[in-house]
């Protein structure tokens, strides 16, 4: 019997398909177990570059787990390929901003320290402090509008400012793939605007931008593609095709009222 994998391989025979396939992140049969809990079950989807992709689903749906599994931060079964090779072998191409609640804000680092850490990941300790690196870190802080806070301790910043620091660090990394987990939680409207501006710029530059969210709201309309998750993939693809009442009901149950913007 021919399974999905074999069918895909057959398709990749054609050269143009290979090109198309290679540029994306291909997740195939991804599964994660935490002891007796099956957090992700048989998740397969494609995440395309040059587009803004949102992962939506209720609390406990496995959104953070999906991102962590992609980056090899939790044990998983299945495969995650980027440009045809395991993503975990190319983590230098990834900038990851975890959920704010997962970061230790008492850690005694300044805004500048945190952004320079992005350069360490990119170049290693010795080269990270070059003039070029400092200029890149400075531009990143400027881009998110918090250069004047460069000497502040990160613990003293507001939620929105903290989120901007981590976005600046991600930018300083000069990554190809940007993964952010619930960046809109506990931030101000201005920060949300800056975040979406930067995401759109990155996508326009051909980067892959993947953002986890749980609240269905106006943020959904910014995304080109949406992955609707509840332990399994409920639907994935073009926003307008995914955000139907039926799919949302299957993902969230009766817990939310949402009026689909699908035409
Ligand atoms: N390290 C862990 N050990 C055990 N269970 C976990 C762990 N991390 C997450 N879980 C459980 O796995 C499920 C999915 O969690 P998570 O990926 O954080 O969901 P989401 O980000 O969508 O809210 C939840 O039921 C959560 O309680
Ligand atoms: Mg989460």
One digit per residue, pLDDT tens: the chain, 263 residues? 445 555 444 444 444 444 444 689 999 999 999 999 999 999 999 999 999 999 999 999 999 999 999 999 999 999 999 999 999 999 999 999 999 877 777 778 999 999 999 988 777 766 667 888 999 999 999 999 999 999 999 999 999 999 999 999 999 999 999 999 999 998 999 999 999 999 999 999 999 999 999 888 889 999 999 999 999 999 999 999 999 999 999 999 866 555 544 43
CA gap 67, 75 in Å, rounded = 12
Any atom of ligand 1 within 6 Å of the Cβ of 64 = yes
C-beta of 59 in contact with ligand 1 (< 6 A): yes
Q: Does the beta carbon of 36 sit less than 6 angstroms from any atom of ligand 1?
A: no
65 lines ligand 1 (CB under 6 A): yes
Q: Find, among 216, 226, 213, 186, the residue nearest to 45 by Cα.
A: 226
- Which residue of 30, 62, 97, 232 sits with most ligand 1 atoms within 8 Å of its CB, as the best mutation to test the pocket? 62
Give yes or no for residue 68 CB within 6 A of ligand 1: no
User: How much is the pTM?
Assistant: 0.88
Quickly tell me which residue has 């992700």 as its tokens.
40
pLDDT at position 23, please?
Answer: 85
Alpha carbon distances (Å) from 188 to 185, 195, 201 = 9, 11, 20
**Ligand 1 centroid distance, CA of 96 (Å):** 18
The pair of structure tokens assigned to 12 is 């990749």
Rounded CA-CA distance 116/164 in Å is 14
Per the listing, tokens 């990941």 go with 121
Look up residue 253 and give its DSSP letter. Answer: G
Please tell me the predicted confidence (pLDDT) of residue 12. Answer: 44
pLDDT at position 131: 87
Q: Which residue in this structure is represented by tokens 């398909």?
A: 17
* pLDDT on residue 162: 94
Ligand 2 centre distance from Cα of residue 80 (Å): 19
Quickly list H helices, 144-244: 159-172, 189-204, 239-242
Residues 206 and 50: their CA atoms lie apart, in Å, by: 4
Q: Is the CB–ligand 1 distance for residue 39 below 6 Å?
A: yes
Which residue in the block uniquely carries the two structure tokens 């970061």? 103
In this prediction, residue 13 carries a pLDDT of: 44
Residue whose CA is closest, atom 4 of ligand 1? 34
Structure tokens at 255: 């817990």
Cα of 213 vs centre of ligand 1, distance in Å, is 14
Reported as a single tens digit per residue, the pLDDT across 25-68 is: 999 999 999 999 999 999 999 999 999 999 999 999 999 999 99
174 CA distance to ligand 2 middle (Å): 25
Question: What does the alpha-carbon distance between residue 25 and residue 212 come to, in Å, rounded to a whole number?
Answer: 16
Atom 13 (ligand 1): residue with closest C-alpha?
60
CATH architecture of 4-255: 3-Layer(aba) Sandwich (3.40)
Distance 17 CA to ligand 2 centre (A): 33
User: Which ligand is in closest contact with the Cα of 183?
Assistant: 2
- One-letter-per-residue 3-state SS of 20-54: HHHCCEEEEEEEEEECCEEEEEEEEEEECCCCEEE
**Cα dihedral sign, 95-101-105-111:** positive
Neighbours of 72 (CB within 10 A): 14
Q: How far is the CA of 38 from the centre of ligand 1 (A)?
A: 9
Q: What is the number of other CB atoms lying within 10 angstroms of the CB of residue 46?
A: 16
- The closest-lying atom of ligand 1 relative to the alpha carbon of residue 40 is 14
Number of H helices, E strands in the chain: 10, 10
Shortest-distance Cα residue to atom 18 of ligand 1: 64
For the record, the structure tokens of 248 come out as: 């949302």
For position 214, what pLDDT does the model report?
82
Helix, strand, coil shares of the chain, percent, nearest 5, are 45, 25, 30
Residues 6+ apart with CB under 8 A from 159: 100, 185, 186, 187, 188
Cα 125 to averaged position of ligand 2 atoms, centre (Å)? 31
pLDDT value of position 16: 43
Identify the pLDDT of residue 9. Answer: 46
């Amino acid at each position: 019997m021919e399974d999905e994998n074999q069918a895909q391989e057959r398709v990749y025979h054609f050269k143009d398909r290979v090109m198309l396939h290679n540029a994306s992140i291909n997740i195939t049969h991804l599964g994660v177990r935490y002891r007796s809990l099956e957090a992700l079950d048989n998740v397969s989807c494609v995440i395309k570059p040059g587009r803004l992709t949102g992962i939506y689903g209720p609390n406990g749906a496995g959104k953070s787990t999906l991102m962590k599994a992609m980056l090899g931060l939790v044990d998983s079964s299945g495969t995650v390929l980027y440009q045809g090779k395991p993503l975990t072998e190319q983590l230098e191409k990834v900038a990851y901003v975890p959920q704010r609640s997962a970061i230790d804000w008492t850690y005694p680092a300044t805004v500048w320290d945190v952004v320079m850490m992005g350069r360490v990941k990119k170049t290693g300790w010795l080269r990270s402090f070059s003039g070029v690196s400092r200029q890149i870190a400075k531009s990143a802080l400027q881009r998110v509008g918090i250069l004047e806070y460069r000497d502040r301790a990160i613990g003293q910043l507001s939620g929105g400012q903290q989120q901007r620091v981590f976005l600046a660090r991600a930018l300083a990394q000069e990554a190809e793939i940007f993964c952010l987990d619930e960046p809109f939680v506990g931030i101000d409207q201005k920060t949300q605007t800056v975040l979406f501006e930067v995401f759109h710029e990155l996508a326009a530059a051909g980067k892959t931008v993947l953002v986890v969210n749980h609240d269905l709201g106006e943020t959904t309309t910014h995304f080109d593609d949406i992955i609707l998750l509840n332990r399994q993939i409920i639907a994935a693809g073009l926003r307008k095709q995914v955000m139907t009442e039926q799919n949302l009901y299957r993902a969230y149950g009766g817990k939310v009222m949402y009026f689909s913007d699908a035409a």
